[in-house]
Amino acid sequence: MSAEAASTGATREPQQGRSRASYERMLVAAEKLMVRHGNDDFTLNDVARTGKVSIGSIYLRFNSKDDLIRAVHMRVLARVDVEQQAMLAAVQARTHRLHDLITQLVGDYAELLRRFAPLLRPMMLRASFDPGISGVGRAAADRFGDEMKAAMLVYRADIVGDAPERAVHSAYRVIYATLARYLGFGSSKEVSDEGDWTELKQDLGDMCAAFLLWSPGRG
């Protein structure tokens, strides 16, 4: 079974209008509960009450709570991907130097991740023991990481050193790791929010731009 199939799980998505509306309420309810709890420590009965659907209708669409969570995961990843693509295109359209691209990309990417953090945080906690969610999530993150690095490499002539691919890869790793640490990805909310968010974004962008553009003896 592929990672995507494992993440999707046994989901019977309806096509009819009324059934579709009920199905949407199940997914929205599960999302709300994940944000409320900060994890997936809730029951299908909780989903039924929150979404105003019957427990029987949930089992009609999903074999288990795990399958419901995986369906929510796929929906969240799809929304994140749409916003990431739009964000990257907008930054590329309004910047014409590597320094500006890096600093604005860091700032906008940070805000996007922060907006989705209440959902991404419990998803990443679950990924520690759910290979389906882990595999699909990692693949999605790697794809966008490659797109961010490709955007930086448009300015490869401005990158110091003789290994621009290695340099942008290192810059991206630092960007993602720093933001993930601040937002508590892979951990609880209690260990996140260390330091000033605005200063973090500014300093992270400036440091990565300096790493790519500056070398000793170069003006």
Residues 6+ apart with CB under 8 A from 145: 172, 176
Give start-end residues of each CATH 1.10.10.60 domain in the chain.
3-61
Give start-end residues of each CATH 1.10.357.10 domain in the chain.
72-213
pLDDT digits (tens, 9 = 90+) for 159-216: 998 999 999 999 999 999 999 999 999 765 555 557 899 999 999 999 999 999 986 5
Q: How many CA atoms lie within 13 A of 213 on its CB side?
A: 16
**Are 53 and 6 a contacting pair, CB within 8 Å?**
no
pLDDT digits (tens, 9 = 90+) for 97-147: 999 999 999 999 999 999 999 999 999 999 989 998 999 999 999 999 999
Rounded Cα gap, residues 172 and 145, in angstroms: 7
Rounded Cα gap, residues 31 and 34, in angstroms: 5
pLDDT digits (tens, 9 = 90+) for 47-95: 999 999 999 999 999 999 999 999 999 999 999 999 999 999 999 999 9
Rounded Cα gap, residues 146 and 30, in angstroms: 31
pLDDT digits (tens, 9 = 90+) for 16-44: 666 789 999 999 999 999 999 999 999 99
The CATH number corresponding to 72-213 among 3.90.226.10, 1.20.210.10, 3.90.950.20, 1.10.357.10 equals 1.10.357.10
> How is domain 3-61 classified at the CATH fold level?
Arc Repressor Mutant, subunit A (1.10.10)
Q: State the pLDDT at residue 13.
A: 67
